[in-house]
Amino acid sequence: MNLPLRRIGTVIALMLVALMISTTSVQFFQASSLNADSRNVRTIYREFGRDRGPIVVAGESVAWSEPIDDAYAFQRVYAPGPLYSHVTGYFSTTFNASTGIERYSNSILGGTASSLLLSRIQDLVTGSQPQGGSVELTIDPALQQVAAEALAGQRGAVVALDPTTGAVLALYSSPAFDPNTIATHDRAAATAAWDALQADPEKPLENRATGTILYPPGSTFKVIVTAAWLELDPTRDVTTQVPTPAELQLPQSTSVIRNPGGATCGGVDTNELLYAFKESCNTTFAQLAMDLGQPQLDAMTAAFGFGQDLSIPLFVTPSVYPQTASAAETALTGIGQFDVRVSTLQMAMVAAAVANDGVLMRPYLVATERDADLGVLSRTEPSVFSEPISAGTAATLTTLMEAVVASGTGTPAQVPGVTVAGKTGTAETGNEQDQHAWMIAFAPAEAPQVAVAVLLENGGRDGSAAYGGSSAGPIVRRLIQAAVG
Amino acid sequence: MATVTHETVRTGRGSEILLLVIAVGIGIYAYVQVALNMNGVAPERITLQAGAFTVLAVVVHLLVRWKAPYADPVILPAAVALTGIGLAMIYRLDISYTELGRPSGFAPKQLVWTVIGMGAATAIVLFFTDHRVLRRYTYVSLVAGIVLLLLPMVPLLGKNINGSRIWIGVGPLTFQPGEIAKICLAVFFAGYLVDARDNLALAGPRILGLHLPRMRDLGPILLAWGVAIVVLVAERDLGTSLLFFGFFVAMLYVATERVSWVIIGLVLFGGGATLAANFFPHVMARVEVWLHALDPEIYNRDPGGSGQVVQGLFGMASGGLTGAGWGKGLPHLVPYANSDFIWASLGEELGLTGLLAIVSIYLVLTQRGIRTGIGVRDGFGKLLCAGLSFVMAFQVFVVIGGVTRLIPLTGLTMPFMAYGGSSLLSNWIIVGLLLRISNEAREPAAVPTGPFPRVDAVLAARRASDDVAPPAAPAAPALPAAGMPEPDDNPTEVVDLR
């Protein structure tokens, strides 16, 4: 009976080896798909219990995880709380949700990115707790601080880009909020904070910089109209005569377009483009828009990024250039009204493209991703987003925008010793509310280092008295002083 | 050619105490880790508890040393290690259950059953001086086994828990008689097959190279099959049915060396299982859960959904290669985490590494059982060892296979580890029997003083080895008179059959 006994022994061994294989299959080969299963609550617990990596601005952590003695083991801390709220977003255990960089760079911060595989294996071998990687942002803290101070007490947004690379130097939406209040593990407190933020009429959770609300761009849109018009004919330049009537009767419509403040715009029916641009004559650009037609403008706006999904890695809501049903509507889009809707970031991109000789660099917020040992995992290389205009057109536009700040509607943005190029905008809201004040600019005009877009929703604290130049201009000045001076 | 050498046989007691220290150490280490990781402090009265556990193990060791000095040195430590790891996990889940306000306090009960189980094993070693005594109770065991198996069907006594009627309850006490039944049936099969093996093995036609049995010899296997089906249908217990039939087929094979029995067994079981899967909704549900566990439809189905299985898989997956560590996972999220799904709980906290180590302990334990069967001289002992070892291994296979979706999930308990007094007791009884038989197997005979020791030894060796038994030899006497030595009962020297 010994032979069958030995065989039974072999059968037992085979059965147990089969169990080793099936156990290995579950714990090793199926593990990643099982861990990713949405029904697996452990993943949520573990995600929130992980030693998440920090978000770093100029060498300082602005969001990090601190050990805490509760179920999640780590509490996310944001400091200075509101300054970066719309950049970092929040990481909430209570709502099982995250926004901003916390959301879009989650795989690095949480340590699950495939680029972190090596350090995960090291953690396995050394038995240490897995740690997330860190994300370094392109933000210039001084510029961000200026944006926050300038927008304090007003609704609006500031975006500053490095036009030569696309790096986002400042991204601020006002009012901001304190992410710590939502990230707290205290359920009741987090819920109360959330409810309060939701109920706040100022809508602090909206990211006005990346376009969770889109705004009519007003006269800043004239940069794009001018760009399209210049691109059509290389002989056109700042001295080319354009129509500058005091009033423009729109075709098949009772509407009449007038110039800002009822001005006559030089009192002549045609004038140099330079004059029309720096005085922001509405009649001129409404007429140019009609001459160009909707398809031309649609193509030019698309070249600047309208209608395209963009992640920086924050999701940027695509700006809209509308379909128009009539020449009258097209005329209105020429002055950034009708259904033209833009994000602040989009308008900063317009300024940046002009500043960078017509080459629009892809905006990015993450400079470097590092593992827990600070080894570099990836560095963002600047890349071209599009080339909407020629270098010649860009140069002409620069001249025009310099004139706006030097002697036009944008004089409040002047910075001593620095040539600032800009374009103001004052956008009707289409309802009873006060107009939005805009200004886009870049400086120094000869060798641009920064391109900015400033939005004051409903004119900010100036309300109905707000103009792009007078209200947004001083903010542009402060930003450029901080960035260049 | 067998050669006979005189050598000092090592009792293995030294190895046993060394391994026992390690096994007890694993259990205590796990217990302290759980307390440290979950409460932040070592358990109160840890020295006392650790001391008591150590003393318990050492006492068992000393009694074994006294009454069965040649017993296998690995069996006891392996069982102690498994029991200790299981206890630590049950204790760890108690802490979570207490925090969550769910019923807890399972670990102290399990500890009581551990003491009872180890006591039973020791009693077997102490009072059963010869395992062959059991052979006298072949048919008593059959009756006892069947009665125990069918006991849960008795009205008032039987209890229906989680859809299976495999418990009996008297007041607050519940017991799974099927766990003890498997030992009774192992004794019966061993006793019956040692008598009937020649008929089963040799009579009957040969067809297509397969040696088929005579129709009238099919009776017992059909009876076993019938009982398995009754258990399946009446008690809705897929696991016990599978276990019982599986190990009967295995013992038939060992007794007869006929693959045809295995094939007949598989065909019968396959037919029964197919019918069951098609006609019994609860079996069908199990099969669907097995094949499509992750389908949302099956996952959300209630009752009979795969939520439980999938939660177990999630737990194991989150354990990964090295596990979360004692007390650092979330095994309490899985239903029945301390009994049917203790494998998932262990996987979550000890990881793949820990689970492979535990399977290895089971492997060593059951292989030592088989080894004992090879070493013991009488056919009854061989069959009993084969049956007991196989039933333990098969139970491990059915449980872990179910949790890891190798086979459909059935409601069996993990030997030594899962919470449950009946299972713990029955497995420790198996340990006691294996210890007792292994003492017979490994004990050397006194050095013969006769004039021709070599010849005696070789003859004895021939008799001891059933492999060379002449086919014409008469079947072993049904019930030898008490005190009369069996033909293969002669003490012998160590025979090296290399």
Q: Assess whether A194 and A253 both reside in one domain.
A: no
Q: Assess whether B459 and B421 both reside in one domain.
A: no
What residues of chain A have any CB closer than 8 angstroms to a CB in chain B?
Answer: 1-9, 11-13, 15-16, 18-20, 22-28, 30-32, 34-35, 37, 39-43, 45-46, 124, 127
> What does DSSP say about strands A55-57 and A134-137: parallel, antiparallel, or unpaired?
parallel
Q: Assess whether A319 and A287 both reside in one domain.
A: yes
Chain A residues in contact with B373 by the CB 8 A cut-off are: 5
Residue B456 has pLDDT above 60, yes or no: no
Residue A246 lies in a domain: yes
> What does DSSP say about strands B158-161 and B164-170: parallel, antiparallel, or unpaired?
antiparallel
Which domain range does residue B182 map to?
3-442
**What is the spatial distance between Cα B70 and Cα A84, in angstroms, rounded to a whole number?**
75
Residue A206 lies in a domain: no
Q: Assess whether A222 and A313 both reside in one domain.
A: yes
Residue B475 has pLDDT above 70, yes or no: no
Residue B483 lies in a domain: no
Of the pLDDT bands very low, low, confident and very high (cuts 50, 70, 90), residue B171 is low
Rounded to 10°, the helix B219-234/B238-256 angle is 170
Determine the pLDDT at residue B471.
Answer: 42
Residue B197: partners with Cβ closer than 8 Å, 6 or more residues away: B255, B256, B379, B475
Number of domains observed in the structure of chain A: 2
- For residues B59-82, average pLDDT: 92
Residue B402 and residue B91 in contact, taking contact as beta carbons nearer than 8 Å: no
Residue B465 has pLDDT above 60, yes or no: no
Residue B463 lies in a domain: yes
Q: Assess whether B224 and B316 both reside in one domain.
A: yes
Q: Assess whether A183 and A309 both reside in one domain.
A: no
Number of domains observed in the structure of chain B: 2
Residue A352 and residue A163 in contact, taking contact as beta carbons nearer than 8 Å: yes
Residue A170 lies in a domain: no
Q: Assess whether B496 and B349 both reside in one domain.
A: no
Residue A100 has pLDDT above 70, yes or no: yes
Q: Assess whether A325 and A433 both reside in one domain.
A: yes
Q: Assess whether B300 and B335 both reside in one domain.
A: yes
**What is the spatial distance between Cα B257 and Cα A8, in angstroms, rounded to a whole number?**
10
Interchain contact, B401 vs A18, CB within 8 Å: yes
Concerning whether A219 is annotated as a catalytic residue, the answer is yes
E strands, A291-387, in order: 310-311, 315-316, 360-361, 366-370, 376-379, 384-386
Interchain contact, B404 vs A124, CB within 8 Å: no
**What is the spatial distance between Cα A60 and Cα A74, in angstroms, rounded to a whole number?**
19
Chain A residues in contact with B317 by the CB 8 A cut-off are: 26-27, 30-32, 34-35, 40
Interchain contact, A8 vs B370, CB within 8 Å: yes
Q: Assess whether A72 and A109 both reside in one domain.
A: yes
ipTM above 0.95 for this complex: no
Please tell me the distance in Å from B389's CA to the nearest CA on chain A: 9
In this structure, what CATH number is given to the domain that contains residue A96?
3.90.1310.10
Q: Assess whether A385 and A330 both reside in one domain.
A: yes
Q: Assess whether B347 and B455 both reside in one domain.
A: no
Residue A68 lies in a domain: yes
Residue B243 and residue B186 in contact, taking contact as beta carbons nearer than 8 Å: no
Which domain range does residue A440 map to?
218-371+380-484
Residue A26 lies in a domain: no
Q: Which residue has the tokens 């007094």?
A: B421
Q: Assess whether A325 and A237 both reside in one domain.
A: yes
Tokens of B482: 């008490």
Interchain contact, B382 vs A2, CB within 8 Å: yes
Q: Which residue has the tokens 């300038």?
A: A150
DSSP secondary structure letter of residue B135: G
Residue A15 lies in a domain: no
pLDDT in tens, A434-474: 889 999 999 899 999 999 999 999 988 888 888 888 899 99
Residue A13 lies in a domain: no
Q: Is residue B157 classed as helix, strand or coil in its secondary structure? A: coil
A182-188: long-range contacts, CB 8 A cutoff, minimum separation 24: A182/A90, A182/A92, A182/A94, A182/A95, A183/A75, A183/A76, A183/A77, A183/A78, A183/A90, A183/A91, A183/A92, A183/A93, A184/A75, A184/A94, A185/A68, A185/A70, A185/A71, A185/A72, A185/A75, A185/A93, A185/A94, A187/A94
Q: Which residues pair with A158 in a beta bridge?
A: A172, A454
pLDDT in tens, B116-164: 999 999 999 998 888 888 888 888 988 898 888 888 877 777 777 666 6
Interchain contact, A34 vs B467, CB within 8 Å: no
Residue A58 lies in a domain: yes
**What is the spatial distance between Cα B486 and Cα B125, in angstroms, rounded to a whole number?**
22
Residue B235 has pLDDT above 80, yes or no: no
- Chain B interface, best mutation among A1, A30, A124, by max B CB count within 10 A: A1
Determine the pLDDT at residue B468.
Answer: 42
Size of interface A-B (CB pairs under 8 A): 147
Residue B333 lies in a domain: yes
Q: Assess whether A235 and A313 both reside in one domain.
A: yes
Q: What kind and span of H or E run contains B214?
A: none
- What DSSP string describes A55-67? EEETTEEEEEEEE
Q: Assess whether A247 and A103 both reside in one domain.
A: no
In this structure, what CATH number is given to the domain that contains residue A303?
3.40.710.10
